[in-house]
Structure 1
């Protein structure tokens, strides 16, 4: 994919408002592209890493919410939400990937497939 197409692909994965500004747009030699946006007023950021064909490698959404609606969800509900996100961008992903484990980080869970 061309640089512009990769950026559009990344933008389609994160809910950006006009308060977010592009801080990093990096194309590495190992064919990984990273985009990072920040809302410096609220100390929030969103980062997307894609391979050169536009496949998602990494996604991080850092919100400065003191109470998140996700806090009230069970681990199973959070996992289902992660799977819905995955399927919205890769409809056949769960045909090739299986859930491996959940890893609890500070205030968030990471799901590995």
Structure 2
């Protein structure tokens, strides 16, 4: 990054917090995005997240997963967010260990099944 691209103040650094750049890589069936270099420089890599995105055929984001880059294994968590549209207007957020990123589809499916059970049981009451 050249000098003219560098932020002039700490406030300008904050503009790059939670800004991601595409990697053009697919990991576990998800598009991977990495933290902006200024975010990494200002906060250190361990205090940033990687972002993984699943899109539908219309290029709309349907699943978003943010995974911590911390060096502490037990703290390396991922947070997956998605909605149950069009069936229900429910936003789900599930947290799991980063080592389980490979199982994101299973985690998503099982979470949806549990929510569906809740609604079916409520309707039967």
Structure with greater helix percent: 2
Give your verdict on TM over 0.5: no
Which has the larger Rg?
2
- Return the structure number with greater relative CO, CA threshold 8 A, min gap 6: 1
In the superposition, the TM-score normalised over structure 1's length comes to 0.35
